[in-house]
Structure 1
């Protein structure tokens, strides 16, 4: 039996007939007493957040739930439903879209904030941004938005909540300062405002609350799954079959060789 019991090891859940506990908390004591965001924190971190930490965490989760059918992950979920997939298939299709380009900016932003913090803080922002662009990508994760101009409406609200939490001593506020330093540096170097977007703002919260960078992407997946299931369910009600990314009357751009009939001679009938 030791070979079997040692096959998997976990400090997350303990279970036997009639008993379930998560991180040492009996499930019957958690039910009705902790919120879903608190439960996410407990499962991923191993302890329960206080009310102020949970409120800030919840704000980040709420802010990123959806961005409409123009977001590739949401579009994928709706298209999947019209291809016959059930809700779980639509959700899996959507979450698999959340990689480095679409869905990964929050994780990357947390990583960038920590690089600046480790270098000594906001005064080293320009130096670290240059290093990031040299070694990683020219894009600065968490800043600028192709749709929301001049400002992503979610970011100021989230930063305001971080400021309130910092004033209460719930968080340090140093990652919010780093985020704002990046905004200033980008504005100076580009000659125009490049405001923080939702990924940058939620990354501030996750960094302030002590979540490692890779978890930031996982948390974004959890948050965006709310929008995914909502759109998939709505599409089920609307119906539709085999809906692609554009209506059938629209065509893609073809840039191959011209159509030349008769290029392949018919075989002789023998």
Structure 2
């Protein structure tokens, strides 16, 4: 049964033949291998273009910034899965990646959408400070949380966020989206009545947008980064198994209440 409209299936990413592989119109073995870093190759895969030096630099920077953040729930899920089946490395990795959502991995995608909305209103003639204040009020009045603000560990500042902004300034890539992110910090403090931590997600989105990264990057980069961190934990789990220790502590920490027994 045909679902949707009939169309010709095409791809512009890759074709493999008996003696060659072509990626985005380039010879993998004769051109890309040995010339591009994986970071630059990832950019090429997603966009069809090779990155500028600033794009490559900040893509590297952001991948390093968020690849690892300790024994997060996603890491625990991955390690316990590998403990249950030591041969299922791919399954354990998948278990960790499946939990990489906005609560655990950050809200870069939501931050990007907010910054793009703010930028559109400013472009239409709005005052930047008034625009971000209005958006912050809209979020608060709707009962939402400001994406890119707050952190359970890093207080009063998220050192990763501050370092990204510092380097963006140093390298001269801070543009309108970084400016709006900074203004949003003050707007959120005013609307919420207290200074909330600007976490790493907002600078990630702001810098990527100022460097003309496609919006798809805003979620793809955290996923790629955290995959590297998960693989490191799984490699350690193979040498130093703690998955069942984590599971045991989790079970011991939860009390059982049979309130519905008859």
With structure 2 as the length reference, what TM-score do the two structures score? 0.86
Preserved CA contact (<8 Å) 2:78 2:93: yes
Unpaired segments of 5 or more residues in structure 1? Answer: 1-5, 264-270
Task: Report the structure number with the largest CA radius of gyration.
Answer: 1
Contact 2:76 2:246 in 1 (8 A): no
1:58-109 deviation line (CA, Å, top 9, x unaligned): 111110001111x221111111111115221111111111124333511111
User: For residue 3 of structure 2, what is the aligned residue in structure 1?
Assistant: none
Match of 1:266 in 2: none
Match of 2:164 in 1: 158
1:139 aligns with 2:141: no
| Separation (CA, whole Å) in 2 of partners of 1:155 and 1:217 | 17
Once the two structures are TM-superposed, the CA of residue 15 in structure 1 deviates from its matched residue by: 2.8
Q: Which residue of 2 aligns with 1:23?
A: 24
Q: Which shifted more, 56-65 or 239-248?
A: 239-248
Counterpart-to-counterpart distance in 1, 2:17 and 2:140: 52
Alpha-carbon contact 1:106-1:142 (below 8 Å) kept = yes
Give the Å deviation of 1:51.
1.5
Q: Partners of 1:38 and 1:172 in 2: how far apart? A: 21
Report the number of matched residues.
Answer: 249
- Aligned position for 2:221: 219
CA contact (8 A) 2:168 2:174 kept: no
The alpha-carbon distance between structure 1 residues 205 and 241, as it changes in their structure 2 partners (threshold 3 A), is closer
Distance, in Å, in 2 between the alignment partners of 1:146 and 1:248 is 20
Question: How far is 1:213 from its partner?
Answer: 3.5
Are residues 234 and 176 of structure 1, via their aligned partners in 2, closer, same or farther at CA, if it must alter by over 3 Å? same
Look up the match of 2:137.
Answer: 130
RMSD: 2.3
Shift of 1:46: 1.0
SS of 1:20 mapped into structure 2: strand
TM-score for both structures, normalised by structure 1: 0.84
